[in-house]
């Protein structure tokens, strides 16, 4: 959703849109199939957007923001609240365009998962080398 020239120089961005709420029948099916820990369901429910300059990374997941020092914490295990520093504000600026915070609508009215359809999709994914 970023337009050319809309980012501060030297900043890269990434975005993950949720596949839908974990309570949606199709998402719940795959959560069960993949063995996702219930404590981690929120990771699927919340959109994730991040900006980095290579040394810091600002991660916005839903309403929460975490700042990672990539030099001291390259595995991003110990995020902290943004400190208001100019570097953190520069990353936050990259996440401000309205198109970044727009969310796709989910189809909450979808019915239960059809086992035959799931089987067909899995067969196609195997043929393509995804499974």
CA angle 14, 109, 30 (to 5 degrees): 55
Name the strand (E) or helix (H) holding 30. Answer: helix 25-34
| CB-based burial label for 58 (10 Å; 0-12, 13-18, 19+) | buried
pTM, 2 dp: 0.62
pLDDT by residue for the chain (131 residues), tens digit each?
A: 566 667 888 898 988 887 777 788 888 888 888 888 877 777 777 888 999 999 999 999 888 899 999 999 999 999 999 988 999 999 998 888 655 544 555 555 566 788 888 888 888 888 888 77
């Amino acid at each position: 959703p970023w337009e050319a020239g809309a980012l501060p120089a030297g900043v890269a961005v990434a975005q993950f849109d949720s596949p839908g709420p974990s309570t949606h029948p199709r998402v719940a099916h795959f959560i069960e199939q993949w063995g996702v820990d219930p404590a981690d369901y929120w990771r699927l429910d919340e959109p994730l957007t991040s900006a980095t300059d290579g040394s810091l990374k600002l991660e916005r997941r839903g309403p929460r923001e975490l700042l990672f020092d990539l030099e001291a914490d390259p595995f991003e295990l110990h995020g902290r609240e943004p400190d208001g520093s100019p570097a953190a504000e520069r990353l936050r600026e990259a996440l401000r365009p309205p198109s970044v915070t727009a969310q796709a609508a989910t189809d909450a009215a979808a019915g239960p998962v059809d086992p035959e359809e799931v089987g067909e999709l899995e067969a196609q994914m195997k043929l393509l080398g995804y499974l």
